Structure 1
Amino acid sequence: MVLMGSVEHSAARLTAAAPMPSFLGMDLRGHLDLLLLATLRRVGPVHAYALIAALRQGSDGAFDLPEGTVYPALHRLERDGLVDSEWSTDQPRRRRVYRLTDAGAAAVAVKRREWTVFERGVRAILGPGAVEGLA
């Protein structure tokens, strides 16, 4: 009973924090970096709005993230040295173009391995066919 109270209390604290976009009601916190870095790796240097569009398109519309989520994450990734940016000079409207750094590419590989282990564990808990049944 005490454990259940602790879990409920933790859930209440997480819910009270800044809202995070969700996918099928699942919190994307912890997965956002991988999604952004992997999308940058796939599409190459791009401005934030195009990155959002590429993420939406690459996920068949499942991940339609608001700018208010993506911009702070990009700034944090840049501060951490995983993403680099510069102002574009070849377009009529100045835009900040983001690109993956070598450290960012290495982080994608590490985070992808972590995701694979996580996914394997979730599938083991949910049982055979549980994830496929969502499609």
Structure 2
Amino acid sequence: MLDPEVVAVHGQEVRRGSVVVASLLMLRTPGYGYGLLEALADAGFAVEANTLYPLLRRLEKQGLLVSEWNTDESRPRKFYRTSAAGEELATSLLREWTALGRSLDALDRGTAPPTTEGGAP
């Protein structure tokens, strides 16, 4: 029987890269960190706040997100939205993710092309 902890660790690895794409896609509509955290969880991307907030800061520093403070409410909140560069990256990563999904599906069905000696197709 497979150890559930092993499954959890490897599942987390698969999700880790997908959180970047999911965040960029979801922030096409401006949102704040906590709202994004909830929306990601609702969409099946369980991520912890101590992982998401540094990711948002990193994406902003890379020019993939832009932010502004909303001071209309009693407690100011920082809203993020995907920049033009972030939109380009999201499109590229989503295309790559889709291609990988097709390849994994082909491997699972046993229909992937055989590799040559040495591992290269």
Normalising by structure 2, we get a TM-score of 0.76
- TM-superposition CA deviations, 1:19-59 (whole Å, max 9, x none): xxx69834123222101111112xx11110001111122x2
Aligned to 1:106: 88
Q: Which runs of 5+ in 2 are unaligned?
A: 1-5, 111-121
CA contact (8 A) 1:23 1:63 kept: no
**Does the 8 Å contact 1:55/1:63 carry over to 2?**
yes
Pairs within 5 Å for 1:1-135: 25-27=11-13, 28-41=15-28, 44-57=29-42, 59=43, 62-127=44-109
Deviation of residue 77 (structure 1)? Answer: 0.4
> How many angstroms apart in 1 are the aligned matches of 2:88 and 2:11?
30
- Cα distance in structure 2, aligned partners of 1:74 and 1:34: 12
How many aligned residue pairs are there? 103
1:33 aligns to what SS in structure 2?
helix
Aligned match of 1:18: none
Which structure would you say has the larger RCO, counting Cα contacts within 8 Å and 6 or more residues apart?
2
Q: Residue 3 of structure 2 corresponds to which residue in structure 1? A: none
CA contact (8 A) 1:86 1:97 kept: yes
Return 5+ residue gaps in structure 1 as ranges: 1-14, 16-21, 129-135
Stretches of 4+ aligned residues off by more than 3 angstroms: none
Does the C-alpha gap of structure 1 residues 34 and 23 become closer, same or farther in structure 2, counting only changes over 3 Å?
Answer: farther
After TM superposition, the score normalised by the length of structure 1 is 0.69
Does the 8 Å CA contact 2:19/2:45 hold for their aligned counterparts?
no
CA RMSD of aligned residues (A): 2.1
